[in-house]
Amino acid sequence: MPLPIILSAVGFLLFLAGSAILIGRSRLGMAIIYGFSFVTCLAAGTAALLALAGQGDGMAEITLPVGLPWIGAHFRLDALSAFFLLVIHLGGALTSLYALGYGRHEGEPLRVLPFYPAFLAGMTLVAAAADAFTFLVSWEFMSLASWALVMAHHRAEENRRAGLIYLIMASFGTLCLLLAFGLLAGPDGLYVFDAMRAAHQGQTVPALVLALALLGAGSKAGLVPLHVWLPLAHPAAPSHVSALMSGVMTKVAVYGFIRIIFDLAGLPNWWSGGIVLTIGGATAVFGVLSALMQRDLKRLLAFSTVENIGIVFIGLGLAMAFRANGVAWGAALALTGALLHAFNHSVFKSLLFFGAGAVLTATGERDLGKLGGLIRFMPVTAFAFLVGCTAISALPPLNGFVSEWIILQAILLSPELPQWGLKLAIPAVGALLALAAAFAAVCFVKAFGIGFLGRPRSEAAKQAQETDRFSLAAMLICALICCLAGILPGLLIDLLSAVTGALVGGRMPVQADIPWLSIVPIGASRSSYNGLLVLVFIAISASLAAFAIHRLASKALRRAPPWDCGFPNSDPVTQYSADGFIQPIRRIYGVSAFRAREEVSMPPPGDSRPAILRVEIHDRIWESLYQPAIAAVSFLADRLNRLQFLTIRRYLTLVFLALVALLMVLALWQ
Amino acid sequence: MLLVLLLAPLLTGFVRKVKARLTRRRGPPLLQPYRDLARLLKKEVVLAEDASWLFRVAPYLIFAATWVAAALVPTFASGLMFSWSADLIAITALLGSARFFLALAGMDVGTAFGGIGSSREVMIATFAEPAMLMIVFTLALIAGSTELSGVAAFMQSPQVGLRVSLALALVALVMVAIAENGRIPVDNPATHLELTMVHEAMVLEYSGRHLAMIELSAMLKLLLYISLIACLFAPWGLAAPGAEAALYPAALLIYAGKLGAGGALLALFETSIAKMRVFRVPDFLGAALMLGLLAVLLRFVSRGM
């Protein structure tokens, strides 16, 4: 009975949200709220895991008499929902654990505490909903709760701007989803998912639904060019909420997309896969390039979320292309890669945001240019953050590599597809994916190298202290999951077989049957990867080397000032800065991607003014897409303003004309 | 595994010797790299005051990742015992891990030289890694497997023939190998005080046994790339998995011959070309990336190419 557990978890979370208003002001109240959120998420997550593993009566369905009177609210738990509920509640449990420590530093707890459980409840409801009405209401509830959390620190001007942009983009996304469901419901008004699934659409409806789902779910997930709100809103929220938004809410958006496209809209055309794939590739590269240019640690992480969502959509697009051609095993492989990457990303992105939050409380800084040397003052945080960086850079033997490896294997299967458009698009997307992976490694060398290594660049960084035990526990658990999912991916892949079986009618080979815990994409002859053995090999050779060296070599060690080619300078500003580190990359890629320009003003010899290097970076998407739209809206609003100052006769005329126009439309329609 | 470890310094010594002979110098003896390593091991470590634990752990991690990657490449026999545990993509990624930690180690002490090295290394990596993956794609699409021993076995079979995409992949792989090993024209392994250096700038603060580990992993990497090129594009003389024991010495000799030829060609190439400016490197590696992409596209478009 996993579904009742999950629904009662939702009820309890909503109750917590209500009681937070009463008790949230005190320290104990905060501990109660986060503590119970942790327990609830743990219970609901276990229920989802059991449902996914096929224990308990999995495919339960419940109709509650709330919502629209003649429909009610339908909830259903199938493999897909169960998987995403697992992601949501794993993220929720870890975040609540982290917040037990982090929440103490919150200045105005009443602006966070009531909305936090409500946000979790909203996401759970989206994943469990089984009719369009419940889905949309929960979706909007989730958006509004997260908006309130983004506005928690509303006194900062930039946070208010982030909140406004987020609100507009969220309403736009919900509008698109509303229209998509309207199209799927057809003229008969089928609200329930089961009825939608059974209905047969023509040619145009699935294409329109795809476009609307890309706009609606894509704007929530952060697909380029709809990502503009994401790097503003995610960093604006308190760090544990940032982790939840980046790690979990984007996955709910991915869930919405999969539910609509793979489940409800019927068999896709081959070109729809190509479109999703291409958008995913563009999102991945653009996201990570933007992340590289950032100096603000949390904004860097938010842009990296955009990249990872791009990778997930590459996998989804491949799965659609395979499915359209009836290659079930290929579709299963690509879909497994995408879902696994969604899971992995939720874990390591939460970890990285937790680390950023720990740094923020320890130093009060998010600017990489003012950090440095934290590995000595916060060793455990630094270690966990390093694991997260390694995982997100897709380096073996951690989990990020596994999911990208599976997606790459799916790309290698694609010459089987007959269409020429795909034959040209897929290799290009493969190159984009490879580029994105390389950039991600650079990005996180920068984040860790500048933030945690070197010498402190400010007084605040020098005073940093290790963070509290709850936060450390949450980070270390995340790091452990990253390692485990990297060395034992077979378990997760086998769990996902129920999802791929239901959605694309195929599955990857049973990984548990393969000796030595390897994973294989389609058949043992083709290729395989064994994270466990790679880890064991690395451990053995590293310890062999260390052992041999400590036996044979001299053990002498002397501390001395750095050598630095004979000219060491003790001033920390002589270190490489965050901007300086990526200067070569900015010069090579940034000129076309961001119209980056560098200007050096060098005073003549004898002049004591400092030389100044000014770097200019433009957000081309914002400037070319959004600014014209904003200008058009303000222009129209200006014009329409006059309507507020008419005489009563003119208002009556307007009403009359509107009535006539509507009647005309009605007459023409019939 | 031990074989690559023992051979790697010899190969580096050989390349140095050939380079010296080509410029009419006598050059150091062939065994000089072994002596250098032994000397480094005997010396004390001078650790910078600001160095953290990462700085001390990184040499071992870098060495282990490179060694595992090198051990997964077939040298003289194709049937490696654990070749299924990691395919070509994983080998590329293992080298990526080594680079990740090397770049971090370069930034750890907080000196300008370490930063410049790391910054340039990662810039080069943004071209070299995708190019390498494109080459892997080409080979995998031809051989139907990303597993290295599978690819090597396929390359030995008569059905390979001459293919345009293979030629493109070979050129791209050579370019990537030059960049990855920090050879001229991308980087100069012999320099120590030059503003254009990359690898040497990152490891500037290392000394003693730590430096020995890093030097040894650089040598391993060179051996790895030459073996990789040899086993993919000149797979003759690889002993098959079930071959009788008598074949192994012959295969070993052939392998030594291939390494010698590869090293000599590298030395010849290095003496005949000047080093590039750093911002010319993207053009060089961009060409490798484009060649790789072109090879993959050809494979997608036509089965015969």
CA distance B235 to B228: 10
More confident residue, B292 or B146: B292
Give residue A204's pLDDT. 81
Q: Determine the distance in angstroms separating the CA of B14 from the nearest CA of chain A, rounded to an integer.
A: 24
DSSP run (H or E) holding A86: helix A79-102
Tell me the residue type at A492. L
Please indicate if any CB of chain A lies within 8 Å of the CB of B135.
no
Chain B residue closest to A440 (CA)? Answer: B126
Give residue B148's pLDDT. 83
Q: What is the mean pLDDT of residues B186-201?
A: 74
Tell me the residue type at A275. I
Please indicate if any CB of chain A lies within 8 Å of the CB of B299.
yes
> Is A464 strand, coil or helix?
coil
Residues on chain B touching A381 (C-beta within 8 angstroms) = none
Average pLDDT over chain B, rounded to an integer: 87
Q: Determine the distance in angstroms separating the CA of B124 from the nearest CA of chain A, rounded to an integer.
A: 9
* pLDDT surpasses 80 at A652: yes
Give residue A189's pLDDT. 77
* pLDDT surpasses 60 at A580: yes
* pLDDT surpasses 90 at A670: no
Question: Helix B32-42 crosses helix B2-22 at what angle (to 10 degrees)?
Answer: 120
Q: What does A3-71 look like in DSSP terms, one character per residue?
A: HHHHHHHHHHHHHHHHHHHHHTTSHHHHHHHHHHHHHHHHHHHHHHHHHHTT-SS-S-EEEES-SSTTT
Q: Do A424 and B94 touch (CB under 8 A)?
A: no
> Is A217 strand, coil or helix?
helix
Count of CB atoms situated within 10 Å of the CB of A235: 27
More confident residue, B1 or A233: A233
Take residue A394 and report the two structure tokens written for it.
């897709």
Q: Is A419 exposed, middle or buried (0-12, 13-18, 19+ CB in 10 A)?
A: middle
Lowest mean pLDDT among A198-212, A382-396, B88-102: A198-212
Highest mean pLDDT among A23-27, A250-254, A540-544: A250-254
Give residue A630's pLDDT. 94
* pLDDT surpasses 70 at A526: no
Q: What residues contact residue B168 under an 8 Å CB cut-off, 6+ apart?
A: B138, B291, B292, B294, B295, B298
Measure Cα distances from A285 to A606, B104, B180 in Å. Answer: 45, 23, 23
Chain B residue closest to A543 (CA)? Answer: B60
Residues on chain A touching B43 (C-beta within 8 angstroms) = 554, 556
Residues on chain A touching B45 (C-beta within 8 angstroms) = 556-558
Per-residue model confidence as pLDDT tens digits over A432-453:
999 999 999 999 999 999 999 9
CA distance B26 to B16: 10
Average pLDDT over chain A, rounded to an integer: 90
Take residue A368 and report the two structure tokens written for it.
């990489």
**Given pLDDT bands bounded at 50, 70 and 90, which one contains residue A59?**
low
CA distance A509 to A521: 7
**Given pLDDT bands bounded at 50, 70 and 90, which one contains residue A293?**
very high
Tell me the residue type at B165. S
CA angle A374, A376, A381 (to 5 degrees): 60
Task: Please count the residue pairs, one from chain A and one from chain B, whose beta carbons lie less than 8 angstroms apart.
Answer: 276
Residues on chain A touching B147 (C-beta within 8 angstroms) = 526-528
Per-residue model confidence as pLDDT tens digits over A137-181:
999 999 999 999 999 999 999 999 999 999 999 999 999 999 999
Q: What is the mean pLDDT of residues B115-131?
A: 92
Q: What is the mean pLDDT of residues B152-181?
A: 86
CA distance A516 to A65: 51
Give residue A258's pLDDT. 95
Q: Do B54 and A553 touch (CB under 8 A)?
A: no
Q: Do B212 and A553 touch (CB under 8 A)?
A: yes
Query: Domain spans of chain A?
Result: 1-199+210-239, 267-512, 587-618, 624-669
Give residue A523's pLDDT. 64
Per-residue model confidence as pLDDT tens digits over A321-332:
999 998 888 899
Lowest mean pLDDT among A185-189, A362-366, B251-255: A185-189
Question: Helix A328-363 crosses helix A297-324 at what angle (to 10 degrees)?
Answer: 170
* pLDDT surpasses 80 at A226: yes
- Would you give the distance in Å from CA A617 to the centre of its chain? 24
* pLDDT surpasses 70 at A55: no
* pLDDT surpasses 60 at A35: yes
Q: Do A558 and B44 touch (CB under 8 A)?
A: yes
Give residue B79's pLDDT. 63
Q: What is the mean pLDDT of residues A274-302?
A: 94
- Would you tell me which residues 224-263 of chain B have a C-beta closer than 8 angstroms to some C-beta of chain A? none
Q: What is the mean pLDDT of residues A484-509?
A: 87
Per-residue model confidence as pLDDT tens digits over A606-635:
888 888 888 888 888 999 999 999 999 999
Give residue B196's pLDDT. 60
> Is B203 strand, coil or helix?
coil
Measure Cα distances from B298 to A281, A598, B60, B143, B304 in Å. Answer: 20, 39, 41, 15, 9
Q: What residues contact residue A169 under an 8 Å CB cut-off, 6+ apart?
A: A219, A226, A228, A229
Give residue B176's pLDDT. 94
Q: What percent of chain A has pLDDT over 70?
A: 98
Q: Determine the distance in angstroms separating the CA of B39 from the nearest CA of chain A, rounded to an integer.
A: 9
- Would you tell me which residues 43-62 of chain B have a C-beta closer than 8 angstroms to some C-beta of chain A? 43-50, 52-54, 60-61
* pLDDT surpasses 80 at A284: yes
Q: Do A445 and B50 touch (CB under 8 A)?
A: no
Q: Do B84 and A411 touch (CB under 8 A)?
A: no
ipTM above 0.90, yes or no: yes
CB nearest to B293's CB, from A411, A431, A554? A431
Query: Domain spans of chain B?
Result: 36-301
Q: What percent of chain A has pLDDT over 90?
A: 59
Give residue B235's pLDDT. 81
Please indicate if any CB of chain A lies within 8 Å of the CB of B65.
yes
Residues on chain B touching A449 (C-beta within 8 angstroms) = 103-104, 107-108, 118
Lowest mean pLDDT among A274-278, B143-147, B241-245, B266-270: B241-245
CB nearest to A559's CB, from B49, B113, B114? B49
Give residue B242's pLDDT. 66
Count of CB atoms situated within 10 Å of the CB of A36: 17
Tell me if A368 sits within 8 A of A451, measured CB to CB: yes
Give residue A433's pLDDT. 95
* pLDDT surpasses 70 at B28: yes
SS3 per-residue string spanning A554-615: CCCEEEECCCHHHCCCCCHHHCCCHHHHCHHHHHHHHHHHHCCEEEEECCCCCCCCCCEEEE
* pLDDT surpasses 80 at B194: no
Q: What is the mean pLDDT of residues B281-301?
A: 90
Tell me if A116 sits within 8 A of A199, measured CB to CB: no
